[in-house]
């Protein structure tokens, strides 16, 4: 059963206050790096039950008249067609989606910067052409040999000086990205350097969520962050600069610790002294003060680590290069925490039902802790069956009641197989819910079931085979936290 463990209102109040304080400490212009996602921060909402995915956005909207946004995306992520783990869309498409979403709430997107360029990339050029066709300026930053250790070279015409100078017009510049490893920090530091060359005073601060600096290094929340960034080889560590300056333990991660000398050197060159004593100082992160139930947060984080493990297995199966490193790093975290896939409550029931029926199966844990299963039938796939059974349970509808009568089901299946070219007559989850919605015009039980759809949000589920891409997309729309066994049903090579 999912227990709330985080005070979201307290977080918004505390974090907003700290951001305003940080802005006041720098005159002229502030580059504010946003770690994690501004929209749809589902990782935070999973490991901190009670955290709302739009919390960062709600705070930013209070400053929208002062702020503009730079979106950073790495050239190598574009070349490899890297995808977001939660939505499954590629980083280039995520850049476009973010722009649309920012604009829809009245936030100004000033430009996009493509980072870590090593040469001309077809994928980067294609994205640039799309953006420029819609009057969105695109800038290029380049791979710097020796970054971040070779400070003299970085702070030269051949280092940050080689990067395009991003023209901005507002005092608060938010630097965000479609996902981790996009070069947000380097973008900020390059801009601070190039602003100074042009005689503009600019500061830097970091809006961060993970790792949580005032939680223990091996707290499940921080280990879940390591699992989430295992593809980047990120490692949480004790901040040695903070320990030296204050004799206090604080948790940070390797990239920030490695980059801190660069930031310190830049500020010494600009101001004569660095305003920060440690990478932890430069961050604004009040998460640790807003945890209301530590045990609930720990359990949620353990479940997230297992979810990340299944996601890494799926990524390895579908990856071009078959890299095993991400899986092995998460396995190491699981071993350290004495976790296994059997600790995910929905896994065993799904596998047991598959063994019993000899066909793919699925299981879901509802908010009250009830486990609902779904098996493969002639008219419904296992995911559809699981969703229908869960909605019936939530609505108090008898299991024997047919929500999709045969008179409605037969023509739908005929349409799929005879006219739409589908080899699978079974209804996917979206098709199933649409059919139920049609029946709801005359069936009060169908109408009652549909009203329970919001209660599926944030529920955990497990599927014994890899669902189709359309099925996975719809489960994400329902905000169901699903995992699956890393193999397909059958032996077909071409799948949608």
CATH, residue 424: 3.40.140.40
Tell me the C-alpha distance between 421 and 412, whole Å: 13
Q: Both 36 and 176 in a single domain?
A: yes
Q: Using CA atoms, how far apart are residues 446 and 449, in angstroms rounded to an integer?
A: 5
Same-domain pairing of 280 and 377? no
Residue at 25 is within a domain: yes
Is 90 found in the same domain as 24? Answer: yes
Task: Show the DSSP H helices in 198-253 as ranges.
Answer: 220-228, 240-246
Model pLDDT, residue 323 = 59
Q: Tell me the per-residue pLDDT of 152-210, one tens digit each, with 9 for 90 and over.
A: 899 999 999 999 999 999 989 999 999 888 999 899 999 999 998 998 888 899 998 99
Residue 457 belongs to what domain range?
Answer: 346-496
Peptide bond into 211 cis (omega under 30): yes
Q: Are residues 400 and 272 in the same domain?
A: no
Domain-ending residue, one of 248, 263, 290: 290
Q: 250 and 373 share a domain?
A: no
- Supply the angle between the helices 429-439 and 469-477 in degrees, to the nearest 10: 60
* pLDDT at residue number 442: 94
C-alpha–C-alpha distance, residues 278 and 147, integer Å:
19
Same domain, 242 and 385: no
Residue 229 lies in a domain: no
Are both 263 and 132 inside the same structural domain?
Answer: yes
Q: What is the pLDDT of residue 182?
A: 92
Residues of the chain with pLDDT > 70, as a percent, come to 97
| Average pLDDT of the residues of the chain | 91
Does residue 174 contact residue 71 with C-beta atoms inside 8 Å? no
pLDDT for position 279: 95
Beta strand pairing status for 67-74 and 202-207? Answer: unpaired
Least Cα distance to 175 among 73, 296, 270, 106 occurs for 73
Do 252 and 356 fall within a single domain? no
In a domain, 98, yes or no: yes
pTM of the prediction?
A: 0.85
pLDDT of 347-386, one tens digit each? Answer: 999 999 999 999 999 999 999 999 999 999 988 999 999 9
Rg for the chain (alpha carbons), in Å? 24
Report the candidate in 11, 60, 460 with the shortest Cα–Cα distance to residue 212.
11
Task: For the chain, give the percent of residues with pLDDT over 90.
Answer: 69
252 and 178 inside one domain: yes
**DSSP label of 173:** E
Considering its fold, how many domains does the chain have in total?
Answer: 2
Q: What is the pLDDT of residue 78?
A: 95
Q: What is the rounded average pLDDT of the residues 71-76?
A: 96
Q: Is 178 a domain residue? A: yes
Domain presence at residue 41: yes
Between 25 and 51, the more confident residue is 51
- Would you say 293 and 301 are in contact if contact means Cβ atoms under 8 Å apart? no
Q: How confident is the model at residue 494 (pLDDT cuts 50, 70, 90)?
A: very low
Q: Does residue 324 belong to any structural domain of this protein?
A: no
Higher pLDDT, 99 or 181: 99
249, burial (CB in 10 Å: exposed 0-12, middle 13-18, buried 19+): middle
Q: Kindly state whether residue 314 falls inside one of the protein's structural domains.
A: no
H-assigned helices in 2-85? 8-25, 42-47, 55-61, 75-79
- 350, 281: one domain: no
Ramachandran class of 301: left when φ > 0, alpha when ψ lies in -120 to 50, beta otherwise: alpha
């Amino acid at each position: 059963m999912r227990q709330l463990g985080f005070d979201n209102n307290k977080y918004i109040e505390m974090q907003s206050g700290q951001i305003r304080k940080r802005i006041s400490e720098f005159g002229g212009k502030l580059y504010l790096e946003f770690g994690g996602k501004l929209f749809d921060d589902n990782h935070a909402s999973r490991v901190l039950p009670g955290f709302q995915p739009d919390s960062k956005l709600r705070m930013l909207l209070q400053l929208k008249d002062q702020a503009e946004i730079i979106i950073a995306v790495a050239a190598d992520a574009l070349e490899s067609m890297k995808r977001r783990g939660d939505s499954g869309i590629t980083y280039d498409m995520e850049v476009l989606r973010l722009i649309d979403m920012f604009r829809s709430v009245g936030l100004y997107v000033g430009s996009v910067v493509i980072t870590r360029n090593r040469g001309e990339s077809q994928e980067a050029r294609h994205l640039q052409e799309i953006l420029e066709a819609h009057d969105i300026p695109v800038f290029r930053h380049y791979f710097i040999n020796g970054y971040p250790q070779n400070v003299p070279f970085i702070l030269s015409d051949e280092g940050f000086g080689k990067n395009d100078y991003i023209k901005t017009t507002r005092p608060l510049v938010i630097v965000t990205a479609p996902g981790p490893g996009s070069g947000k920090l380097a973008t900020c530091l390059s801009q601070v350097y190039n602003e100074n060359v042009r005689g503009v005073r600019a500061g830097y601060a970091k809006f961060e969520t993970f790792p949580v600096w005032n939680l223990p290094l091996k707290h499940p929340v921080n280990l879940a962050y390591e699992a989430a960034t295992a593809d980047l080889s990120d490692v949480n560590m004790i901040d040695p600069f903070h320990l030296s300056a204050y004799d206090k333990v604080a948790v940070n991660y390797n990239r920030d610790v490695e980059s801190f000398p660069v930031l310190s050197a830049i500020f010494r060159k600009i101001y004569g002294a660095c305003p920060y004593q440690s990478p932890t100082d430069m961050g604004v992160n009040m998460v640790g003060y807003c945890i209301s139930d530590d045990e609930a947060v720990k359990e949620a984080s353990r479940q997230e680590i297992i979810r990340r493990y299944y996601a890494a297995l799926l990524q390895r199966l579908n990856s071009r290069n078959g890299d095993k490193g991400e899986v092995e790093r998460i396995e190491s975290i699981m071993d350290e925490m004495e976790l296994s896939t059997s600790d995910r409550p929905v896994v065993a029931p799904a596998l047991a039902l598959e063994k019993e029926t000899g066909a793919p199966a699925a299981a879901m844990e509802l908010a009250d802790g009830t486990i609902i299963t779904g098996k493969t039938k002639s008219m419904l796939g296992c995911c559809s069956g699981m969703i229908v059974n869960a909605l019936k349970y939530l609505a108090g509808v008898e299991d024997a009641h047919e929500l999709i009568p045969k008179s409605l089901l037969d023509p739908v299946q005929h349409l799929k197989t005879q006219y739409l070219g589908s080899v699978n007559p079974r209804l996917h989850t979206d098709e199933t819910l649409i059919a139920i919605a049609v029946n709801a015009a005359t069936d009060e039980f169908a109408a009652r079931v549909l009203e329970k759809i919001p209660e599926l949000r944030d529920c955990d589920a497990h599927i014994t085979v890899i669902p189709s891409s359309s099925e996975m997309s719809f489960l994400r729309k329902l905000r169901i936290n699903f995992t699956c066994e890393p193999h397909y049903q059958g032996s077909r090579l071409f799948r949608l």
